[in-house]
Amino acid sequence: MLRLLILLAVFAAPVPIAFAQPTNTAAGLKAAVDGPQRDVANRARDRFRHPLETLAFFDIHDNMTVVEISPGGGWYSEILAPLLRDRGRLILAGGMSKALRARVEEKSGIFDKISHIDFLPPRGDPAQTPKNADRVLTFRNVHNWMAAGTAEATFAAMFRALKPGGILGVVEHRANPAAPKDLAAKNGYVHEEQVIAYAQAAGFRLAGRSEINANPADIKDYPQGVWTLPPTLALGSTDRDKYLTIGESDRMTLKFVKP
């Protein structure tokens, strides 16, 4: 009888449920920012670009599908690639330097699982538009789209690429609010409200603003526009120390959500 009671107790005991273990995204993101895969020159610019804080503000997790728009030389790509490599997916869309394209095409190192597509106006293939991405990120590109006359179409394409509830993260050179609006963004600076207008016209809802990448020393009035400042230093040796002291541009950091 005692044996029977023991057996009944064992089989009646609740079976432990195996829950998926959450990943420590904060630690993983810091490891990616501090990792040895990063170019030394890129790392030196962290004090102006604040990648850890910026990506945390955009709520990036290591199991997400993230589309980076026009990554250029891959400044952010070399952080996102190791972060997303094992559990997520990084898609680079258009606007890549030859060096970055070669690394992606060779599938070497941290770029072995990255895919490259081109779905953005004016030359993009709409068939390549990602479906249900968790995040779309773009860093200092809006002024280029304005100059090309493709800003509205590009924001619309980014909206289509995201799943409902997905987030668009935008960092852009910020114009003086009192300055006249220039829809061609000839000096590289863009009014914050103009970026918000483009996003809202595409269907996005503004979800947050951050001053992570603000620089109050940037007076936004230079002979060669924003490119007078580092890293471009368009005036060469002329007043070089002055512009190095100012640092990189004052930047808006905006987060939008697709309803």
In this prediction, residue 124 carries a pLDDT of 84
Q: Specify whether domain 34-257 bears CATH 3.40.50.1820.
A: no
In this prediction, residue 168 carries a pLDDT of 98
In this prediction, residue 24 carries a pLDDT of 61
Is there a contact between 105 and 69 (Cβ–Cβ < 8 Å)? no
Is there a contact between 28 and 84 (Cβ–Cβ < 8 Å)? no
The tens-digit pLDDT sequence of the chain (259 residues) is 544 444 444 334 433 333 333 456 789 999 999 999 999 999 999 999 999 999 999 999 999 999 999 999 999 999 999 999 999 999 999 899 999 999 999 988 899 999 999 888 888 888 888 889 999 999 999 999 999 999 999 999 999 999 999 999 999 999 999 999 999 999 999 999 999 999 999 999 999 999 999 999 999 999 999 999 999 999 999 999 999 999 999 999 999 999 9
In this prediction, residue 126 carries a pLDDT of 82
- Region class of 223: left (phi > 0), else alpha (psi between -120 and 50), else beta: alpha
